[in-house]
Amino acid sequence: MNFKRAVIKVGSALIAPENNGCSGKYALAIAQFITNCQQQGKEIILVSSGGVAAGRSLIHHGSPELSGATKKAMASVGQMQMMANWQRFFDTPCSQILITQSDLADRKRYISIKETIQIQLANNVLPIVNENDTVTTDNLSVGDNDNLAALVAQVCEADSLFIFSDIDGVFTKDPKVNDDAVLIPEISEITDEIYAMAGTSRNHLATGGMKTKIQAAEKAVEHGINTYIINGTKNHVFSSLLNKINPGTRFAADKNIITAKKHWLKHTLKSNGQITLDAGAVNALINQGASLLPAGILSVANNFQAGDTIELIDGQSNRIIAKGICLYNHHDLKRIMGKQSDEIDGILGHDFGDVIVHRDDMVLLHNERDDMQNLTKTEAD
Ligand code: GLU
């Protein structure tokens, strides 16, 4: 398993484990994991539940069956506590992003959310997303943060979604009542049988259960996002993940979707410019599945804007080896070509990230069959 940009969803049971406000009991280890990921150059977006759970003791209520209005009042006051709880574990800034189903359904608002997250990631800010519970109504809410996290993963084009809760993953039977239940490490297809194994939620403060996690996985894998259900109460899972070992259940991303994106890049988008590469960069792209860095660029041709599609040319053979979306315009690129990524900010006075063309936004053209092998290999990693 390998990932570069991940959404991590943390459930209420990990935020407020004793049903009595926020706690660092599990959040601390998760925050440490996020920091370790960031230090490895990975980008993380957090989707955190826990508003209702954190605000529970602050709003008067009678029975454990809370009304919608009571939950909203709890969510609103608990949100502050939950955010403060996260921030105390990070030296870098956290941001709060509250969204609803209707925000995601509106194209302009969708793009606004996407741009906000992109800029925050480029500035080492940790975006923390939750549903804006106060303003939602039944038919306008996503309803649970598992599904919300899957939608957020699509908005920010994450390659992976980690759902941290207090269960180890998907079992063949409910492990709480069946001793012979076995954890399923890998699910390549989400069938009715998988849903049948889901069982129901027992936590009245959290909205989701195994069912919403599988729904979320289904949404995510359809968009090429590997999805993992992980037990965030167990400390060893974090070192496993950092060592590329899956300690829970993995839902494998749909390879056809990834291929569709490559297909779209290759066939639909018109190239506005060309970049010629040295032998090292060509090798890194073709044989190592790498993104394009400024150091390997020999020359830049034609005028293009950041976000335009360009062709990548092998300087030795003069052949077009790849097509991709360039994150810098031709003018900036001429100033940073041949330089190291950490020099970009000093030269340009701004920095849109270390890479010029991200691997995810690139399709190799040198050989159709090799390209398919690369896709399969990336998936198997
Ligand atoms: N938005 C809810 C909260 O902050 C969480 C929903 C869920 O648990 O899925 O409490």
* Ligand 1 centre distance from Cα of residue 217 (Å): 17
Residues with C-beta less than 6 Å from any ligand 1 atom = 12, 49-53, 75, 130-131, 133, 144-145, 206-208
Nearest ligand 1 atom, CA 131? 1
The two tokens of residue 77 are 């006051």
* Ligand 1 centre distance from Cα of residue 99 (Å): 12
CATH number of 5-263: 3.40.1160.10
Nearest ligand 1 atom, CA 54? 10
Task: Tell which one of 96, 133, 165 to mutate to probe ligand 1, the residue whose CB is within 8 A of the most ligand atoms.
Answer: 133
Nearest ligand 1 atom, CA 212? 9
* Ligand 1 centre distance from Cα of residue 167 (Å): 17
CATH fold of the domain at 271-372: 2.30.130
Please give the Cα distance from 147 to 34 (Å, whole number). Answer: 21
* Ligand 1 centre distance from Cα of residue 137 (Å): 14
Please give the Cα distance from 89 to 30 (Å, whole number). Answer: 9
Task: Tell which one of 71, 83, 131, 215 to mutate to probe ligand 1, the residue whose CB is within 8 A of the most ligand atoms.
Answer: 131
The protein residue with its alpha carbon nearest to ligand 1, atom 5, reads: 49
The protein residue with its alpha carbon nearest to ligand 1, atom 8, reads: 206
pLDDT of residue 107: 79
**Where are the domains positioned within the chain?**
5-263, 271-372
User: Do 225 and 175 meet the contact criterion of CB atoms below 8 Å apart?
Assistant: no
pLDDT of residue 176: 80
One pLDDT digit (tens) per residue for the chain, 381 residues: 789 999 999 999 999 998 778 999 999 999 999 999 999 999 999 999 999 999 998 999 887 788 999 999 999 999 999 999 999 999 999 999 999 988 988 878 998 999 999 999 999 999 999 999 999 987 778 889 999 999 999 999 999 999 999 999 999 888 888 899 899 999 999 988 888 877 643 444 445 588 899 999 999 999 899 999 999 999 999 999 999 999 999 999 987 776 777 777 877 778 899 999 999 999 999 998 899 999 999 999 999 999 889 999 999 999 999 999 999 999 999 999 999 999 999 999 988 888 999 988 899 985 443 333 333 333 333
Please give the Cα distance from 343 to 356 (Å, whole number). Answer: 13
